A and B are shown apart, each in its own frame.
Chain A
Amino acid sequence: MNAPTRHPEVQSRELSYAEAIREAMGLALARDERVILMGEDIGVYGGAFQVTGDLVERFGPDRVRDTPISELGGAGVAVGAALTGLRPIFEFQFSDFATLAMEQIVNQAAKMRYMLGGEASVPVVFRMPSGSGTGAAAQHSQSFEAWFGHVPGLKVVQPSTPEDAKGLLLAALEDPDPVVIFEHKLLYKMKGHVPEGWYTTPIGKAAVRRTGRDLTIVASAIMVHRALAAAETLAAEGIDVEVIDLRSVRPIDRETIIASVRKTGRLICVYEGVRTLGVGAEISAMIAESDAFDYLDAPILRLGGAEAPIPYNPDLEKAAVPQTPDIETAARRLVRKEV
């Protein structure tokens, strides 16, 4: 994958997505004593997905703090601590459980600066393991990017590579406002080059992962990898696909997407959240409202999650979210004017 933010002067090595996030948290804990981690079983257990790992051994239980099973209270404590000088990184065990903490995230953290006329700052980071594909069924597999993206005051990012997982987390920490990070569970073990040391990946910038002439695919998280795989197959058939990794749902990188659609004249949005009222609707509307609309050679297509909870049965589970062949089929139909 051709990552756009290469830092040639910096050493980089292979790390997994989970290791990259852990490295970012370790750097932050070492550099700034105001940084604390909070969450359920992030200490000796190492986190439900082993992301915090050994950090409790390095920084102790006061800075890597296990909470009781109290999402609303725990998230709220993180908000209060952020408001008064700490830099908490709060881990939800699954993004699904953030529904128990919506009050503190949506009513409090997101609006505090605004409601107080700019006089307060809530620099809190919420980490959310997200997405389907693990057989954990309806209450452990959801994709809530669009929910949180709908709330002014929040920033919402979705790293798709180890490099960005680290860079976006450090950017979130440096941000004076609340940031929600959706980490895709199926990516935790994925390896990739990760620069050493402190660097940030800018929030609000998409990344062009593959350039192409015939069609733009805007995808996020695991869907970036499915789109890239589809692009390979399609290239062999003479369809040249540009793949944009959205990276940030709020704010959305208008420039990059609009420029790409102007060039290719075709757009497919691929995302795991439920298709209706999702991220793809926003991107489609953005194109419809821009001058890129004049360049369209075909209707815009959205591939998103089924209008259903995520089922347990593995075949149903796969059928509930876009897969690589679905992307290929959609691209062929679009380019061959079958829609």
Chain B
Amino acid sequence: MAKDDNTPFAIRNYEAETLRKALRKMYLIRFFEEGAEDSYMRGLIHGTMHLSIGQEASAVASCLSLTDEDKITSTHRGHGHCIGKGAEVGRMFAEFFGKEEGYCHGRGGSMHIADVTKGNLGANGIVGGGIPIAVGAALTAKQLGTGAVTVCFFGDGANNEGAFHEALNMATVWQLPVVFVCENNKYGMSTSTERSTAVKNISERAAAYRMPGRTVDGNDFSAVAEAVSEAVDRARRGEGPSLVENLTYRWRGHSKSDRNRYRTKEEIDAWIARDPILRFRDELMAHGIIDVDAAEGIEAAARQEVEEGIAFAKGGTAPSVTEVTRYVHAEARP
């Protein structure tokens, strides 16, 4: 902790290059999702998707101190987590376009993107579905002594599933290296936390499972980085699980079928004014990590990467319809 106390945590503790990459990833998430939305509107991809635009700081900062050995479990709103954990946007787009080059060879789509080689155990179509799985990954790490930590992303709505409560209890009872990261964007679909959840802050749930719980400004990159990396360090030291709640907001509707009847334009605008990307960019500029030119360069490079990713996906290969039952079971090895 060299620099003075007013310097944000991330800037005190991470190399300039790491911070520039983090900003680039946040832009990548934004442009990836805008590109996906646009492709959907133009009828190039089908199904539905859940955009995390507005939540980029939470995704990237929570993954900041993780290595490729560390694991994450993600959610239906998972594109940010994917990119945060190092996924390539080209292969993500290829999945959206249903191509063999996609992360799931076109079988999974938006809600199932995973990259097991980079420790991303996958998005999930089931709310709360990833939470016990994260605890299982942490059990593996402890049992085999790999030193890996698992970061488990979930939404505020998921904290009312039984799986959440059962999983947190086991994580403490067995002192497992897992960090539960709740992205509280105020709503599970249309239902506000006030109407769905008995406690004010989701972090209060931690007390029932005897683990530390913290609520931070999820649109403040440094605040998230500090809370999650401390929890990751704690888990790595063998001191057990933690719960971090990132307060954030999704700018878009829940999915493609949302008429936004449960929230006001004023509320949405107030959160758009707290754009986590601009805040982080300005912070990096204020501390001399980047100047205006560098910031623009990072943004332009991310834009270009997304363009190239879409082109790559469009040129991909369609799966053969004779292979509908492929991947149901392990294939016999020659």
Contact = CB atoms under 8 A, between A and B. Distances in A.
Interface of A: 40-41, 43-46, 48, 50, 66, 68-73, 96-97, 100, 134-140, 306-309, 311-316, 318-320
B196 interface: yes
B89 interface: no
Interface of B: 46-48, 95, 98-99, 104, 106-109, 111-112, 124-129, 157-158, 160-163, 188-191, 195-197, 257-259, 261-262, 318-319, 321, 323-325, 328
A303 to B, nearest CB: 14
Nearest to A306: B324
A50 B261 CA distance: 13
Contacts of B99: 313
A316 B112 contact: no
Nearest to A315: B321
SS class of chain B's interface: helix, strand, loop or mixed?
loop
Contacts of A306: 324-325
A97 B109 CA distance: 19
B162 A72 contact: yes
29 contacts: A41-B189, A41-B191, A44-B262, A45-B189, A45-B259, A45-B262, A48-B257, A50-B257, A68-B196, A69-B161, A70-B160, A135-B47, A136-B48, A137-B47, A139-B125, A306-B324, A307-B325, A307-B328, A311-B106, A312-B47, A312-B95, A312-B107, A312-B109, A312-B112, A313-B107, A313-B319, A315-B98, A316-B107, A319-B324
Most A Cβ at <10 Å: residue of B99, B158, B324: B324
A70 B258 CA distance: 21
Contacts of B126: 96-97, 100, 139
Contacts of A314: 46, 98
Contacts of B109: 135-137, 312-313
A136 B188 contact: no
Contacts of A138: 107-108, 112, 125
A101 B1 CA distance: 50
B262 A69 contact: no
A58 to B, nearest CB: 16
A235 B196 CA distance: 55
A151 B190 CA distance: 34
Given A136-B47, A306-B324, A312 B191 contact: no
Contacts of B259: 45-46
Nearest to B191: A66
A136 B46 CA distance: 8
4 A-B pairs closest in CB distance: A135-B47, A312-B109, A139-B125, A313-B98
A194 to B, nearest CB: 24
Contacts of B188: 40, 68-69
Contact of A41 (B95, B124, B190, B318): B190
A312 B128 CA distance: 21
Contact of A312 (B106, B162, B190, B258): B106
Given A40-B189, A135-B47, A312-B108, A140 B324 contact: no
A135 B127 contact: no
Contacts of A43: 190
B324 A320 contact: yes
A308 B324 contact: yes
Most A Cβ at <10 Å: residue of B104, B109, B129: B109
A46 B104 CA distance: 33
Given A45-B261, A97-B126, 14 more contacts: A68-B188, A69-B127, A69-B161, A71-B161, A72-B162, A73-B162, A96-B125, A134-B46, A137-B109, A137-B111, A306-B325, A309-B328, A313-B109, A315-B319
A291 to B, nearest CB: 37
Contacts of B111: 136-137, 139-140
A48 B99 CA distance: 28
Most A Cβ at <10 Å: residue of B160, B163, B323: B160
Nearest to B263: A44
A69 B157 contact: yes
A320 B191 CA distance: 34
Contacts of B157: 68-69
B158 to A, nearest CB: 7
Contacts of A319: 321, 324
A46 B261 CA distance: 10
A46 B98 CA distance: 30
Contact of B324 (A40, A73, A97, A316): A316
Contact of A44 (B162, B190, B318): B190
A172 B157 CA distance: 31
A320 B106 CA distance: 14
Contact of B106 (A97, A140, A316): A316
A140 B129 CA distance: 13
Contacts of B325: 306-308
A88 to B, nearest CB: 18
Most A Cβ at <10 Å: residue of B95, B124, B158, B190: B190
Nearest to B125: A139
Nearest to A61: B195
Contacts of B158: 69
Nearest to B197: A68
Nearest to B45: A135
A125 B154 CA distance: 30
Nearest to A70: B160
Nearest to B189: A41
A79 B51 CA distance: 35
A307 B261 CA distance: 40
Contacts of A50: 257
A277 to B, nearest CB: 15
Nearest to A318: B321
Contacts of A309: 107, 328
A137 B46 CA distance: 11
Contacts of B261: 44-46
Contacts of B195: 66
B160 A69 contact: yes
A140 B125 contact: yes
Given A66-B191, A312-B106, A100 B161 contact: yes
Given A44-B261, A68-B191, A137 B112 contact: yes
